[in-house]
Amino acid sequence: MRIRILSLVSVLSMVAIGGFGPAGAATPRFYSDDPIAREPDPQDASVAAYNAQDMLYELTYNSFALSGRKPENVRAQNLNTIDEVPDSAWFTNRVGARPVSVDEIVRGPNLGEPPDPSHWVITREKISGSKVGVTAKDARGETWFLEFDPPYFPEAATSALVMNSKFWWGAGYNVVESYITTFDPKRMTIEPEARFMRPNGKRTPGTRRDIERLLERVARNPDGTYRAMAGRLIPGRIIGTFRYEGTRPDDPNDLVPHQHRRELRGMFLFGAWTNTADFKGANTMDTLLPTDDGRMVVKHYIQDLGSSFGTANDRYAHDLGWEHFIEMGTAMKRVGTFNLGLPRWATVKYEASGPSLGKLAGDDFDPRKWRTHVPNAATIEMRDDDAFWAARKIAGFTEEMVRAIVHTGEFSDPAAERALVDVMMKRREKILRAYLPAVNPIVTPKLENNRLSFENAAVAAGVASEPELYRASWFQFDNATGDTRPLSDTSSPTTTIDAPADLPTKAGTYVLVEISADSKEHQAWQQPIRTYFHAETDGWKLVGLERMPDGPRAPEAQLRAAEERLR
pLDDT digits (tens, 9 = 90+) for 546-557: 999 887 644 444
**Beta strand spans in 86-177 (E):** 120-125, 133-137, 143-148
| CATH number, position 485 | 2.60.40
pLDDT digits (tens, 9 = 90+) for 410-424: 999 999 999 999 999
pLDDT at 317 over 70: no
Asked if residue 27 is part of any domain, the answer here is: no
pLDDT at 329 over 90: no
pLDDT digits (tens, 9 = 90+) for 208-223: 999 999 999 999 999 9
**For residues 517 and 466, what is the distance between their CA atoms, to the nearest angstrom?**
9
pLDDT digits (tens, 9 = 90+) for 498-541: 999 999 999 999 999 999 999 999 999 999 999 999 999 999 99
Same domain as 429, residue 538:
no
Same domain as 261, residue 399:
yes
**For residues 520 and 156, what is the distance between their CA atoms, to the nearest angstrom?**
45
Q: Decide which of 310 and 88 is more confident.
A: 88
Asked if residue 121 is part of any domain, the answer here is: yes
Same domain as 225, residue 181:
yes
Same domain as 274, residue 163:
no
pLDDT at 295 over 70: yes
Identify the pLDDT of residue 559. Answer: 42
pLDDT band at 331 (very low <50, low <70, confident <90, very high): low
Identify the pLDDT of residue 20. Answer: 31
Asked if residue 559 is part of any domain, the answer here is: no
Segment 362-387 shows an average pLDDT of 95
**For residues 34 and 144, what is the distance between their CA atoms, to the nearest angstrom?**
42
The tally of domains found in the chain comes to 3
Same domain as 372, residue 448:
no
**Beta strand spans in 216-367 (E):** 226-232, 237-238, 284-290, 296-302, 311-312, 315-316, 352-354, 358-360
pLDDT digits (tens, 9 = 90+) for 473-497: 999 999 999 999 999 999 999 999 9
Asked if residue 160 is part of any domain, the answer here is: yes
Identify the pLDDT of residue 561. Answer: 43
CB 377 within 8 A of CB 428: no
pLDDT at 11 over 60: no
Please state which of the ranges 56-60, 170-174, 391-395 shows the lowest mean pLDDT: 56-60
- Among 389, 404, 435, which residue terminates a domain? 435
pLDDT at 396 over 90: yes
Identify the pLDDT of residue 21. Answer: 34
Same domain as 229, residue 133:
yes
Asked if residue 20 is part of any domain, the answer here is: no
Identify the pLDDT of residue 307. Answer: 84
Same domain as 423, residue 380:
yes
Identify the pLDDT of residue 129. Answer: 58
Identify the pLDDT of residue 330. Answer: 67
- Among 209, 238, 267, which residue terminates a domain? 238
Average pLDDT over the chain, rounded to whole?
Answer: 89
- Among 377, 405, 435, which residue terminates a domain? 435
pLDDT at 91 over 90: yes
Same domain as 409, residue 260:
yes
Asked if residue 291 is part of any domain, the answer here is: no
Same domain as 495, residue 462:
yes
**For residues 414 and 441, what is the distance between their CA atoms, to the nearest angstrom?**
38
**For residues 439 and 462, what is the distance between their CA atoms, to the nearest angstrom?**
15
Asked if residue 465 is part of any domain, the answer here is: yes
Show the domain range for 142: 111-238
Same domain as 447, residue 362:
no
Three-state secondary structure readout of 287-318: EEEECCCCCEEEEEEECCCCCCCCEECCEECC
Same domain as 72, residue 153:
no
Same domain as 405, residue 421:
yes
Three-state secondary structure readout of 370-413: CCCCCCCHHHHCCCHHHHHHHHHHHHCCCHHHHHHHHHCCCCCC
Asked if residue 298 is part of any domain, the answer here is: no
Q: Decide which of 288 and 552 is more confident.
A: 288
Identify the pLDDT of residue 340. Answer: 64
pLDDT at 323 over 90: no
pLDDT at 6 over 70: no
pLDDT at 244 over 50: yes
pLDDT at 558 over 60: no
pLDDT band at 344 (very low <50, low <70, confident <90, very high): confident
Identify the pLDDT of residue 339. Answer: 63
Segment 230-253 shows an average pLDDT of 96
Q: How crowded is residue 553: how many other Cβ atoms within 10 Å of its Cβ?
A: 13
